[in-house]
């Protein structure tokens, strides 16, 4: 069953939240009930509610942007969404998957004129900057949200595209769902990688089997949740970059067909990462290598 998802930003937890746990245990997000992508805080929302404003439409090849605010922001949303669509499809290897999100199947992005109007209509928390509605292949936001354009839009589009491919009820680890989406947030990728690097340096990086058991919805602090997203993104990024998008699509196909992650790894990557344990070793080796290269570079250049 498809579900609604609100978005939060793991890297920029909402300052308006009463505490970390408040935003962790708050609204359900993404596929499995939690996604911190979503930023908070924008400046105070505008004054007049715009519920009565007419909805206008801008049609792209894969998205239809409905908007109540300015045409220029709606046009930014359409342009960024089309670019993200192409990039995400390429990264996941789904480009040749078929003509999804075309014509009557285009995704819808609703841009409310003000934060107040968005919050009232979506029932999202006040600090939320975007919300996905999986039932209607729709993403909701409001006029002027830069974090939406930079981070939330690609994150939520990736959730939709990934889930439409593997199935909305297919059971996969949370690190895979959120890692795929977080990896698509290019604007925050270096920050995420730095967090994973620091965890490696301090010996706090989890093993992949341990990460697979982890669900930060169950009592994790804000810091732990951020680290979860960083590890998930780093891990998925490693799989994609080291094995390529064609294989990644094949891996996703095995998941769609009901195989476990372990089996899907074994079928897709028999010679390199045939199990969660092998994936763990290869990922850690990759991070250690990157750390050593960085250290050597630092010494060399100084």
Site of interaction with Zn ion (CB under 5 A): 30, 35, 178, 181
| 4 or 278: CB nearest Zn ion | 4
CA atoms within 13 A on the CB side of 120: 12
Closest CA to 279 of 199, 208, 180: 208
- What's the closest the beta carbon of residue 275 comes to Zn ion, in angstroms? 26
| 112 or 162: CB nearest Zn ion | 162
- What's the closest the beta carbon of residue 90 comes to Zn ion, in angstroms? 20
Contact 41, 17 (CB under 8 A): no
- What's the closest the beta carbon of residue 203 comes to Zn ion, in angstroms? 27
| 35 or 278: CB nearest Zn ion | 35
Query: Which residues pair with residue 65 across a beta bridge?
Result: 58, 109
DSSP secondary structure string, 249-295?
A: HHHHHHHHTT--HHHHHHHH-TTT--SHHHHHHHHHHHHHHHHHHHH
Residue sitting closest to Zn ion (CB): 35
| 140 or 181: CB nearest Zn ion | 181
- What's the closest the beta carbon of residue 268 comes to Zn ion, in angstroms? 23
- What's the closest the beta carbon of residue 160 comes to Zn ion, in angstroms? 11
State the Cα angle at 4 between 3 and 7, rounded to 5°. 135
| 69 or 130: CB nearest Zn ion | 130
């Amino acid at each position: 069953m498809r579900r609604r998802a609100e978005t939060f930003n793991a890297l920029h937890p909402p300052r308006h939240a009463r505490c970390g746990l408040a935003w962790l245990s708050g609204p359900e997000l993404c596929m499995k009930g939690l996604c911190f992508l979503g930023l908070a805080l924008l400046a105070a929302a505008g004054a007049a509610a715009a519920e009565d404003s007419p909805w206008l439409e801008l049609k792209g090849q894969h998205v239809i942007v409905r908007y109540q605010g300015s045409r220029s922001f709606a046009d930014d949303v359409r342009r960024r969404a089309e670019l993200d669509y192409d990039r995400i499809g390429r990264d996941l290897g789904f480009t040749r998957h078929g003509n999804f999100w075309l014509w009557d199947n285009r995704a819808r992005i609703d841009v409310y004129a003000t934060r107040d109007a968005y919050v009232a209509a979506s029932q999202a928390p006040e600090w939320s900057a975007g919300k996905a509605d999986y039932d209607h292949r729709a993403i909701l936001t409001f006029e002027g949200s830069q974090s939406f354009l930079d981070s939330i839009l690609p994150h939520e589009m990736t959730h939709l595209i990934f889930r439409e491919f593997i199935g909305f009820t297919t059971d996969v680890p949370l690190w895979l769902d959120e890692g795929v989406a977080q990896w698509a947030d290019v604007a925050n990728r270096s920050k995420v990688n730095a967090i994973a690097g620091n965890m490696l340096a301090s010996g706090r990086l989890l093993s992949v089997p341990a990460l697979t058991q982890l669900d930060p919805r169950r009592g994790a602090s804000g810091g732990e949740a951020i680290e979860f997203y960083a590890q998930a993104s780093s891990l998925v990024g490693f799989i994609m970059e080291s094995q390529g998008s064609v294989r990644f699509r094949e891996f996703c196909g095995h998941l769609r067909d009901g195989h476990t992650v372990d089996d899907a790894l074994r079928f897709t990557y028999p010679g390199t990462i045939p199990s969660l344990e092998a994936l763990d070793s290869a990922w850690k080796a990759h991070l250690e290598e990157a750390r050593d290269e960085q250290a050597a570079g630092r010494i060399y250049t100084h």
